[in-house]
Amino acid sequence: MIELSNIRKAFNQGQSNEYWALHGIDLAIEAGKVTAFRGPSGSGKTTLLTIVGCLSRPTSGRVRFKGEDISALPERFLTDIRRQSFGFVFQQFNLIKGLSALENVILPAFPTGRPRAKLVAAATELFERLQLAHRLQARVEWLSGGEQQRVAIARALINDPEVIIADEPTANLDTALSKEFMAILERFTEAGKTVLLTSHDPLVVESSAVHRVVGMRDGRLTGE
Amino acid sequence: MSPWLEKQRHLIDFTLASLARRKTRNLGLLLVYTLLVFVLASLTLFSNALRTEAQYVLAGSPEVILQRMVAGRHDLIPPGYLDKIGRIRGVQKKEGRLWGYYYDPVLNANYTFMARPASEVADGMIMVGEALARERGLAKNNTISFRSYSGKLFTFEVAAVLSPDAELLSADLVLLAEGDFRRFFEYPEGHYTDIALSVANPQEVRNVAAKLTAALPDSRPILREEVQRTYQSIFDWREGIMLTVLAGAILAFAILAWEKAAGLSAEEKREIGILKAIGWETGDVIRMKVWEGLLISLTAFLLGFLTAYVHVFHFGAAIFEPVLKGWSVLYPKFALVPAIDGLQVATLFFFTVFPYTAAVLVPIWRAAITDPDAVMR
Ligand SMILES: Nc1ncnc2c1ncn2[C@@H]1O[C@H](COP(=O)(O)OP(=O)(O)OP(=O)(O)O)[C@@H](O)[C@H]1O
Ligand SMILES: [Mg+2]
């Protein structure tokens, strides 16, 4: 589904503080599976996810998504792909304060022009699946960490993406909530979705919900 | 509904929600902005209205008015003066005018009484200005009594209410027959208040004035073009003050806009990053902010302009009164006729709405074109 070939990424290229975060990554990611990236801090996991998720472009190398080379596409097309195909669950959740949980969830669907009634119905269904229906109208800053995370997950799913990208999804959660998250992951794969995540958490990496663990160090893959 | 329309609706919804989220800040901004438009619009409307007034006043007045002076003061024109002028080349018409002020204790107001030839107003009849008729509840065929300065009561019948299109001129006007006028004010027979002369050719006005002074050394000709110039210089002076205020206001506005522009908060930048990361295009983000800017500036413009309109035309620009007091020298009492100049409104609109929207957009644009990967950290 996703093929990376010789991906290299430099920050501040050409300046005195030039830094190469990725040194030639070759990787093929299968559809319908959960792939976890594990590695020490600074090894380039987040950087790799931003490239896969079309949030940034590699300095060199190719990214193929469903056989199409997307590394050279202009911003507009990347945004389209990002909206249609990827759902993000950020480490800090990145919900928009002051808005209700519902508003946050339907936000990614605004540019698609789907009617509001349909969006609200879809969001309500997601909230029910995540056992959060009673918090629909609550402002996100009043929600607990676990609730916020489920809002973030619902937001990642509103456009029904094929790929879910989650960076350190359990970093802010206790064991019980982490386990709940893994259960949600299993449902994703049952629904045929592809999941990419990064984690330090043994509970995640060793979970049966994760099909494949990829190690990273210093911007290189270190094997499975 | 088409997806495009739905999308705009979503954007507006989100914009409204965003505005509501930063309520105090946006209300503050709206307030300052409205105030600014209010001051600017008041000034524009006011100066424009004054100009219109002056044009009205001058258009109806004769080219030359001759006053008699006694001991440096305006005095009555004695009998025989009109004949003494004789024939002057270029003077089309000369007539003695009779007018004066009457204080009405009922309304606590001064009216202008003016005599008209018998062909216009019959004895015992009057024509009254629209404002006066309104205040005293008068209509055609009603009767009204005025107590003259000597204490006698005079009763008149209203023959007509004057048309309101030049309210300033006719608001407090009472037209009555010459005989009634003389009886009412006990005005000596054969005397006039002043003499009005019509001169068709503007080039001849100065010659006529010179000849008048020669013929009647104790009189003073007042030329319309001189009055015009006096008005003009007073206008210019007023406008100087106004321009200073205007410049100050624009400066304040620039500062406001700049602060808003430069002060795109970390929170706002983060939100733009989030929106982009979850699939909003740069264009969507910018469109949303355009809606936001337009909503604020249009609301402020409308509110500011409407309050300015009410302020100038219903409250006589009360706030500017200290600066503009000098006007009472020219007009004993005046109410401005609502007059709006489309070009001025457009200028005002351009100078308030446009820079703000532009100033808001630049930093948004800069934030919106950066890669959204920063939200991942
Ligand atoms: N915008 C940037 N400018 C400069 N250097 C950057 C930037 N983003 C990341 N880096 C550097 O690139 C390297 C990889 O960063 P990355 O965030 O991918 O690591 P990570 O594996 O996700 O670490 P962690 O487990 O701590 O989240 C780090 O050394 C980081 O300092
Ligand atoms: Mg990271």
Instruction: Report residue A214 as tokens.
Output: 């990829």
CA of B269 to the centre of ligand 1 (A): 20
The phi, psi pair for B230, rounded to 5°, reads: -60, -50
Q: In terms of CA atoms, which chain A residue is nearest residue B287?
A: A111
Instruction: Report residue B276 as tokens.
Output: 């982009």
Q: Are residues B39 and B101 in the same domain?
A: no
Per-residue pLDDT of chain B in tens (377 residues, 90 and over written 9): 688 888 888 888 888 888 888 888 788 888 888 888 888 888 788 777 777 777 777 777 788 888 888 888 888 888 888 887 777 777 888 888 899 888 888 877 788 898 988 888 889 999 988 778 888 888 889 999 999 888 899 999 999 888 765 555 667 788 999 999 999 999 998 899 988 888 888 888 888 888 888 888 888 888 888 877 777 776 666 666 666 677 667 766 666 666 665 566 778 888 888 888 888 888 888 888 888 888 888 898 999 999 999 888 887 777 766 655 444 333 334 556 677 778 878 888 887 787 777 777 777 787 777 777 777 67
Angle B23-60/B224-262 helices, nearest 10 degrees?
A: 170
Q: Nearest CA to CA, how far is A82 from chain B (Å)?
A: 6
The half-sphere exposure of B271 on its side-chain side, counting CA atoms within 13 A, is 20
Boundaries of every domain in chain A: 2-223
CA of A46 to the centre of ligand 1 (A): 7
Ligand 1 atom with least separation from CA of A50: 18
Ligand 1 atom with least separation from CA of A40: 25
Instruction: State yes or no: pLDDT of A95 exceeds 60.
Output: yes
Q: Are residues B190 and B277 in the same domain?
A: no
**What ranges in chain B are assigned the alpha helix state H?**
3-21, 23-60, 81-85, 130-136, 167-170, 178-185, 205-215, 224-262, 266-277, 282-314, 321-324, 327-330, 342-368
pLDDT at position B326: 45
- Are the C-beta atoms of residues B297 and B357 closer than 8 Å to each other? yes
Q: Quick count: other Cβ atoms within 10 Å of Cβ B119?
A: 7
CA of B335 to the centre of ligand 2 (A): 72
Quote the CA–CA distance of B192 and B172 in Å, as a whole number. 21
Quote the CA–CA distance of B262 and B355 in Å, as a whole number. 14
B356: closest CA among B259, B247, B251, B257?
A: B257
A113–B7 C-beta distance less than 8 A: yes
Q: Are residues B47 and B75 in the same domain?
A: no
Pocket test of ligand 1: the residue of A8, A45, A198 to mutate, having most ligand atoms within 8 Å of its CB, is: A45
Q: Are residues B300 and B327 in the same domain?
A: yes
Q: Are residues B219 and B172 in the same domain?
A: yes
pLDDT at position B279: 85
Quote the CA–CA distance of B325 and B6 in Å, as a whole number. 55
A55–B371 C-beta distance less than 8 A: yes
Q: Are residues B132 and B216 in the same domain?
A: yes
A116–B9 C-beta distance less than 8 A: yes
CATH number at residue B162: 2.40.40.20
Instruction: State yes or no: pLDDT of A21 exceeds 80.
Output: yes
pLDDT, averaged across chain A: 89
Instruction: State yes or no: pLDDT of A122 exceeds 90.
Output: yes
Give the end-to-end CA distance of chain A in Å, rounded to a whole number.
Answer: 18
B271–A88 C-beta distance less than 8 A: no
**What does the pLDDT look like over A162-191, one tens digit per residue?**
999 998 888 777 888 788 888 888 888 888
User: Which residues span the domain enclosing B154?
Assistant: 64-223
The secondary element (H helix, E strand) that includes residue A125 is helix A116-129
List the B99-104 sheet strands across, edge first.
B99-104, B109-116, B173-177, B125-128, B153-161, B143-147
A114–B6 C-beta distance less than 8 A: yes
Q: Would you call A108 an interface residue with chain B, using a CB distance cutoff of 8 Å?
A: yes
Question: Between B21, B267, B376, which is nearest A50 by CB?
Answer: B376
Q: Are residues B140 and B85 in the same domain?
A: yes
Quote the CA–CA distance of A191 and A79 in Å, as a whole number. 24
Q: Nearest CA to CA, how far is A73 from chain B (Å)?
A: 14
Q: For residue B18, list chain A residues with Cβ-Cβ distance below 8 A.
A: 98
Quote the CA–CA distance of B259 and B302 in Å, as a whole number. 23
Indicate the SS3 state at residue B285. helix
* Closest ligand (CA of A47): 1
A71: closest CA among A55, A83, A87?
A: A55
Q: Are residues B189 and B262 in the same domain?
A: no
A103–B10 C-beta distance less than 8 A: no
Q: Nearest CA to CA, how far is B271 from chain A (Å)?
A: 7
Domain count, chain B: 2
For A2-223, the fitting CATH number among 1.25.40.80, 3.40.190.10, 1.20.120.420, 3.40.50.300 is 3.40.50.300
Q: Are residues B51 and B34 in the same domain?
A: yes
The half-sphere exposure of A18 on its side-chain side, counting CA atoms within 13 A, is 8
Sign of CA dihedral A105, A107, A108, A114: positive
Instruction: Report residue B292 as tokens.
Output: 């936001």
Q: Are residues B264 and B134 in the same domain?
A: no
CA of A31 to the centre of ligand 2 (A): 23
Q: Are residues B130 and B191 in the same domain?
A: yes
pLDDT at position A3: 92
Quote the CA–CA distance of A211 and A33 in Å, as a whole number. 6
Distances A23 to A1, A12, A39 between C-alpha atoms, Å = 22, 15, 15
Indicate the SS3 state at residue B203. helix
Q: Are residues B261 and B139 in the same domain?
A: no
Quote the CA–CA distance of A24 and B279 in Å, as a whole number. 28
